[in-house]
């Protein structure tokens, strides 16, 4: 750093996820995951080598090898290294990689899959600190929810940069805000940060008002009394003290500046039609892939529908059916009469990359003068020469702002939004949410932004998941409107899923208890039925024989030659373990027979 110090713990092991991870493209998905566990795999190979060494060592050399062997075995066990295969596969599954992708070269993966693989590779590493830059980029709701659970259970420290407010609310315990070249630390999660910051800002505004009023009163006193007989000296004294104070405190009259961000609102919908959209028993398939069947719903004027679900389940396809860009295989899609539709495309395909920003904005309202268009563009942070930039040269965030500007210019009755918060920073997302809440028209929004759905949507259409929230193509569920006391429609949906899981688990436990109770009344437990053929005396004799054999095996640990033969040592340990399991059953059978 240019100033200050960074102190790191001596045992710190950092896992770092850049915002855009990259791979050389030569390895497969599974090979990259093995690379992520290189440290663990190195230890396992060393353990195998040491086991072979023990067979050819004795004396002090043997003791040294055994000491390293025990140390490495303990390290691997503590880090969960013995289950590395299961760890790799569970992490891949959580982030949307099925077995069919294991042998896929990374060069054949999509941009979203590359980002998810980068995250998976970091998570399987043996770390005690994670540095994650936008980890939920390219994650659908199921993967984001899995990551949230992983981070909450992670035993080490986590530092993450994120625009995912839902994740910050459920994972973060401290927020570091970077604003005006200053870092400020706030305690609590994102919602607590907002509440605290609002209170602090209000206090600062009141303090600023008090300071300006004090200076104005002082200047007024000086102006009124500087030429009055008997008051000149007092006025000069106050002027001297005021000038000294302002010189010593140059920020005394400085008002807290705010970050420059977009500001806009949607024009009021003029539609008088009550029924905006009717979807009747529609079905859509691509080859053998069924996205939905017999889907029906209606939207009336002013309703707000959120649509979500895993990637590749048909969300954008449904929007294209509503827009008339695709036709359903069965059923009908009907828009209300004279409904003006505004569509925001998540891939910006609706933009002409050869146009300037100004020309592209004018396509929404050709009748408006360039000055009026430039004024609207200014609200979306396009000013000066920026309006003459080529659209193809804009960043993703700038293109998103341009599309929003075009939507505002169109003055639609129905807004159809496909991932509207993509590429927007948090202040811009919050202003978009407020503009949508103030809009009196109808909204259909596809989004993976859970916080956005909670803020804006009144109903939720979940595509491509079963009743427990797991991916299942062809299944669709509608969560009804939230009640005033609810935290939001997405949070309501999650509560419904949790209630279903809890209810099914309770039913399963009740059925299991009933079955166990029935069995205990009628006969011996299943695992003890094999002992029914033995008398109590035979059981006692068998126990005595097994105990004697156990003592003989334990005595072998005093023989140094055993340690020189790793195979023999492993065999003895296995026999003792098996004997213990057998004895445990015989003891249980003996206790059961005694009653």
Residues whose CB is less than 8 angstroms from the CB of residue 109 and which lie 6 or more positions away in sequence, other chains included: 29, 117
Determine whether domain 14-179 maps to CATH 3.40.50.300: yes
Determine whether domain 260-340+411-520 maps to CATH 3.40.50.300: yes
Residue-wise burial string across 540-561, b where 16 or more C-beta atoms lie within 10 A, e elsewhere = eebbeebeeebeeeeeeeeeee
Q: What is the pLDDT of residue 595?
A: 66
Q: What is the pLDDT of residue 268?
A: 94
Instruction: Please say whether the beta carbons of 454 and 437 come within 8 A.
Output: no
Say whether 552 sits in a helix, a strand or coil.
helix
Burial class (CB in 10 A: 0-12, 13-18, 19+), 206: exposed
Determine whether domain 526-594 maps to CATH 1.10.287: yes
What the block records as the tokens of 16 is 């770092």
| Domain ranges across the chain | 14-179, 193-248, 260-340+411-520, 352-402, 526-594
pLDDT in tens, 454-468: 999 999 999 999 988
Instruction: Please say whether the beta carbons of 435 and 462 come within 8 A.
Output: no
Nearest to 111 by CA among 299, 300, 311: 311
What the block records as the tokens of 412 is 């639609």
pLDDT tens for the 595 residues of the chain, in order: 888 999 999 989 999 999 989 998 889 999 999 998 888 888 888 888 888 888 787 878 888 888 888 888 888 887 777 788 888 999 999 998 989 999 999 999 888 899 999 999 999 998 999 999 999 988 888 889 899 999 999 999 999 999 999 999 999 999 999 888 889 999 999 999 999 999 998 998 899 899 999 999 999 999 999 888 889 899 999 999 999 998 888 888 887 767 778 889 999 998 888 999 999 999 999 988 899 899 999 999 999 999 999 888 999 999 999 999 999 999 999 999 889 999 999 888 999 999 999 999 999 999 999 999 999 999 999 999 999 999 999 998 899 999 999 999 999 999 999 999 988 889 899 999 999 999 999 999 999 999 999 999 999 999 999 988 888 888 999 987 655 556 789 988 988 888 888 988 888 888 777 666 665 555 667 778 778 878 888 888 888 888 888 888 877 777 777 767 777 778 888 888 888 888 888 888 888 877 6
pLDDT in tens, 372-410: 999 999 999 999 999 999 999 999 889 999 999 999 999
The two domains 14-179 and 260-340+411-520 share their CATH topology (first three levels equal): yes
């Amino acid at each position: 750093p240019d100033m200050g110090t960074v102190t790191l713990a001596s045992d710190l092991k950092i896992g770092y996820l850049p915002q855009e991870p990259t791979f050389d493209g030569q390895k497969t998905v599974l090979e990259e995951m093995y690379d992520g566990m290189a440290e663990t795999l190195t230890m396992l190979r060393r353990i195998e080598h040491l086991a072979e060494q023990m067979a050819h060592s004795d004396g002090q050399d043997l003791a040294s090898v055994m000491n390293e062997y025990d140390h490495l075995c303990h390290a691997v066990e503590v880090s969960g290294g013995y289950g590395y295969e299961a760890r790799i596969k569970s992490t891949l599954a959580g982030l949307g990689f099925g077995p069919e992708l294991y042998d896929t070269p990374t060069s054949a993966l999509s941009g979203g899959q590359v980002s998810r693989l980068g995250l998976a590779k970091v998570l399987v590493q043996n770390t005690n600190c994670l540095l994650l830059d936008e980890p939920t980029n390219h994650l659908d709701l199921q993967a984001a929810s899995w990551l949230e659970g992983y981070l909450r259970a992670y035993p080490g420290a986590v530092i993450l940069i994120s625009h995912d407010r839902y994740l910050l609310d459920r994972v973060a315990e401290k927020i570091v805000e970077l604003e005006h070249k200053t870092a400020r630390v706030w305690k609590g999660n994102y919602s607590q940060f907002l509440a605290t910051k609002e209170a602090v800002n209000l206090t600062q505004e009141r303090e600023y008002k008090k300071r300006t009023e004090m200076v104005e009163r002082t200047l007024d006193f000086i102006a009124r009394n500087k030429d009055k007989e008997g008051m000149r000296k007092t006025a000069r004294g106050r002027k001297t003290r005021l000038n000294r104070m302002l010189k010593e405190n140059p920020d005394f009259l400085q008002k807290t500046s705010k970050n420059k961000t977009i500001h806009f609102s949607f024009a009021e919908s003029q539609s008088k039609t009550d029924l905006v959209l009717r979807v009747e028993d529609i079905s859509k398939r691509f080859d053998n892939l069924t996205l939905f069947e017999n889907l029906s719903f209606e939207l009336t004027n002013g309703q707000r529908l959120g649509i979500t679900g895993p990637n590749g389940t048909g969300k954008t396809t449904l929007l294209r059916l509503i827009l008339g860009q695709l036709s359903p295989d069965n059923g009908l899609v009907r828009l209300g009469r004279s409904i003006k539709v505004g569509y925001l495309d998540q891939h910006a395909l609706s933009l002409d990359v050869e146009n300037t920003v100004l020309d592209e904005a004018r396509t929404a309202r050709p009748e408006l003068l360039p000055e009026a268009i430039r004024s609207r563009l200014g609200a979306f942070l396009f000013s000066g020469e920026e309006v003459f930039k080529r659209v193809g040269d804009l960043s993703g965030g700038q293109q998103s702002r341009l599309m929003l500007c075009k939507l505002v210019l169109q003055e639609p009755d129905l807004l159809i939004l496909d991932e509207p918060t993509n590429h927007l920073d948090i202040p811009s997302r919050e202003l978009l949410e407020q503009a949508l809440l103030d809009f009196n028209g109808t909204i259909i929004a596809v989004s993976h932004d859970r916080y956005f759905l909670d803020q804006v949507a009144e109903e939720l259409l979940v595509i491509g998941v079963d009743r427990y929230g797991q991916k299942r193509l062809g299944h669709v569920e509608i969560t009804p409107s939230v009640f005033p006391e609810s935290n939001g429609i997405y949070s309501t949906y999650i509560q419904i899923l949790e209630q279903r899981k809890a209810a099914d688990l309770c039913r399963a436990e009740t059925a299991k208890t009933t079955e166990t109770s029935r069995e205990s009344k009628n006969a011996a437990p299943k695992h003890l039925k094999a002992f029914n053929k033995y008398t109590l005396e035979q059981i006692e004799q068998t126990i005595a024989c097994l105990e004697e054999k156990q003592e003989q095996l334990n005595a072998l640990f005093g023989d140094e030659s055993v340690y020189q033969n790793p195979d023999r040592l492993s065999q003895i340990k296995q026999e003792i373990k098996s004997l213990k399991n057998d004895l445990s059953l015989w003891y249980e059978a003996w206790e059961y027979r005694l009653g």
